[in-house]
Amino acid sequence: MENSNNRKEIVVCITGASGAIYAKRLLEELKKDDSIITSLVVSKMGISTIKYELNIEIDEFYKLADNYYLEDDFYAPIASGSHKFDSAIVIPCSMKSVSAVANGYADNLIARVCDVCLKEHRKLVLITRETPLNAIHLENMTKLSKLGVIIMPPVPAFYSFPKTVDDIINFTVGRILDTLDVKNNLVKRWGDE
């Protein structure tokens, strides 16, 4: 495992919800920043969704991260609060994962990483993917928001006049990077020419 005290570690978790392209783009951007270490966890359904939506093998994702762990690896350093990663993001985040995190059901490494963020008061960002939302989804997300979790559905903005799907993806990933305190130029800022 790569580690250094002067580098920020961000844990990127991918569930089986639609939207693996957001995770790929995020990992590509984070890889450009030498001050960041990325640790990656992909669920079994996440692996399946990556192959289905992007027509690529999981090894392509693993190459974008500094470290990667299997979803059932509870011996991974990121499973412990004593391991000082800075923040975690679940991108995309299924409602099943939202429910697990909201109810303390850490049955895989993704939910455990989120549990560590909650108990250690670290930044946790969930890129939630579902529509429409039912009352249970909303209650779970409200519960997490009250605990300080950032709930961030990948909603496009049209004031930047996107021309391609890539423009829409870049906008969302830029806003995610802002939330993670990572400098980027992906977002056309309101009021900028």
CA distance 150 to 160: 23
Burial 124-163 (b: 16+ CB within 10 A, else e): bbbbbbbeeeeeebeebbeebeeeebbbbbbeeeeebebe
- Known binding residue 141? Answer is no
Is 129 annotated among the ligand-binding residues? Answer: yes
Distance CA 52, CA 49 (A): 5
**E strands in 6-49:** 8-14, 36-42
94 is in an annotated binding site: yes
Q: Was 88 annotated as part of a binding site?
A: no
Spatial separation of the C-alpha atoms in residues 152 and 164, rounded to whole Å = 21
Round to whole Å and give the CA distance between 63 and 92.
19
Is residue 91 within 8 A of residue 23, CB to CB? The reply is yes
Is 17 annotated in a binding site? The answer is yes
Nearest-angstrom CA–CA distance, 50 and 56: 7
| 97 carries a ligand binding annotation | yes
18 annotated as a binding-site residue: yes
CA–CA gap between residue 80 and residue 113 (Å, rounded): 8
Residue ranges for the known binding site for FMN are 16-18, 43, 94-97, 129
Residue ranges for the known binding site for dimethylallyl phosphate are 159, 175
Residue ranges for the known binding site are 16-18, 43, 94-97, 129, 159, 175
